[in-house]
Amino acid sequence: MTKKEFQIALGKRIKQLREEKNISQTALGNMCDIERSNMNRIEAGNTNPSSYLLYLLAEKLGVEASELLNFKPLN
């Protein structure tokens, strides 16, 4: 898996968890003190979030940080 493929898979997983909780990108971004545009880039796989941001995202989504990485590799 390339770095880009990893970022895309991670972004899709974050989006999936966010949508399951009925939380908007704006709301989750606000909870983590980042702008919605940054949340959009993370979910699109266009940026590599820091480990601390992943921790915050997991906390605000009510899951363990390891759950963010619980995705199947892309083809």
Q: What is the CA radius of gyration of the chain?
A: 11
- Which CATH homologous superfamily contains domain 3-65? lambda repressor-like DNA-binding domains (1.10.260.40)
Whole-number Å distance between alpha carbons of 59 and 4: 24
pTM (2 d.p.):
0.91
Helices (H), ranges, 21-64? 25-31, 36-44, 51-61
What are 4-53's pLDDT values in tens digits? Answer: 999 999 999 999 999 999 999 999 999 999 999 999 999 999 999 999 99
Domain limits, the chain: 3-65
> How many angstroms separate the most distant Cα atoms in the chain?
33
